[in-house]
């Protein structure tokens, strides 16, 4: 295999994979924005003019549908969450997602909570751990502070991330923590209002470019992610890579997480206690899990095996 077309991206997974592919593999990364032109005619033109040995599409939406209709094979469809949790049930987008699930040569999913959904349509769907760029995100020592510095790093989204749960939990220990939150997410204003009503002061940080997020992680003592889905996202992985313990709801029902040291923490009292008890020992166990499962070299190697297997069919 000499060439790969990486189409669209999510949470920089595609870009990270590209950085860890062998240098002899030529990669064309076809990106798009949310503008109407870019995500319609723009992406269609980009896919149409590209020739490669394998086509890897992030998100099972229009990009994947267009690539299949243009006869781009072999075609890898990579689901990243909302396409299967939300779009699958949409009256229009749902038809496209289901079509892509059935027509791709291989389906990958980025978190265990959507693997079961994908396997309703494709028994061969596979969970691929998200790779973390450990050259960008790497450990730095924690500087001791009078109060524990807590960063809510995921976007403010009550239904998906459970940001409201995090705020209520932190309000129970508000005298013992300094809390920061990044300014993004559809429920950000509601989150600020809730914190104010509970007497929890939040230091608001501006949304930063991906390559600058490590500074936010290093400035904190502990990072909080989501408390709804039972699986973690890139925030947890990047924060652990930066040397910080992460408090996140990880469900023990997923065998993919059997080695993760902190599981089933989702109630407010449990979350508050976990924040106060977070330690270097917890981080060391989380980092060992990260190193075994999300090392970009290991993930990239598995992706290349998948590429080769679909080419041989």
**How many domains does the chain contain in total?**
2
Strands 222-224 and 202-205: unpaired
Same-domain check for residues 246 and 302: no
pTM over 0.85: yes
pLDDT beyond 90 at 41: no
Residue 122: give the domain boundaries: 3-130+295-311
Top-confidence residue, 102 or 36: 102
**What local confidence, expressed as pLDDT, does residue 36 receive?**
67
- Contact, 62 vs 39, CB < 8 A? yes
Residues 39 and 93 in one domain: yes
Residue 168 lies in a domain: yes
pLDDT digits (tens, 9 = 90+) for 202-256: 999 999 999 999 999 999 999 999 999 999 989 999 999 999 999 999 999 999 9
Average pLDDT taken over every residue of the chain: 95
Determine phi and psi for 106, rounding to 5 degrees: -155, 140
Contacts of 216 (CB under 8 A, 6+ apart): 151, 153, 180, 182, 205, 208
Tell me if the bond preceding 74 is cis, omega within 30° of 0.
Answer: yes
**CA–CA separation, 205 and 11 (whole Å):** 19
**CATH number for the domain that contains residue 243:** 3.40.50.2000
Instruction: State how far the Cα of 283 lies from the Cα of 274, in Å rounded to an integer.
Output: 12
CA pair distance 294, 199, nearest whole angstrom: 38
Percent of the chain residues topping a pLDDT of 90? 92
Residue 137 lies in a domain: no
Token pair recorded at residue 6: 């990486």
């Amino acid at each position: 295999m000499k060439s790969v077309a990486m189409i669209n991206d999510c949470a920089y997974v595609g870009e990270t994979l590209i950085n860890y592919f062998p240098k002899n593999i030529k990669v064309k990364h076809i990106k798009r924005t949310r503008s109407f032109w870019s995500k319609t005619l723009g992406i269609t033109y980009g896919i149409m003019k590209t020739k490669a040995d394998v086509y890897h599409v992030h998100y099972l939406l229009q990009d994947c549908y267009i690539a299949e209709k243009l006869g781009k094979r072999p075609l890898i469809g990579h689901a990243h969450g909302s396409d299967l949790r939300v779009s699958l049930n949409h009256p229009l987008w749902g038809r496209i997602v289901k079509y892509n699930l059935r027509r791709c040569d291989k389906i990958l999913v980025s978190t265990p909570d959507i693997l079961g959904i994908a396997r309703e349509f494709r028994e061969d769907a596979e969970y691929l751990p998200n790779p973390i760029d450990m050259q960008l995100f790497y450990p730095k020592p924690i500087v001791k502070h009078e109060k524990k510095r807590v960063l809510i790093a995921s976007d403010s989204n009550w239904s998906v991330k459970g940001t409201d749960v995090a705020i209520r939990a932190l309000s129970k220990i508000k005298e013992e923590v300094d809390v920061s939150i990044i300014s993004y997410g559809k429920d950000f204003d509601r989150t600020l209002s809730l914190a104010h009503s509970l007497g929890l002061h939040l230091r608001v940080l501006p949304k930063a470019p991906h390559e600058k997020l490590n500074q936010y992680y290093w400035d904190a003592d502990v990072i909080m992610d989501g408390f709804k889905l039972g699986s973690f996202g890139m925030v947890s992985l990047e924060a652990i890579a930066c040397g910080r313990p992460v408090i996140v709801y990880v469900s023990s029902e997923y065998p993919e997480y059997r080695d993760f040291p902190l599981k089933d923490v989702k109630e407010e009292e449990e979350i508050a206690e976990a924040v106060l008890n977070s330690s270097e020992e917890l981080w060391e166990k989380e980092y060992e899990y990260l190193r075994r499962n999300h090392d970009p070299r290991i993930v990239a190697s598995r992706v290349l095996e998948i590429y080769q297997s679909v080419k041989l069919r």
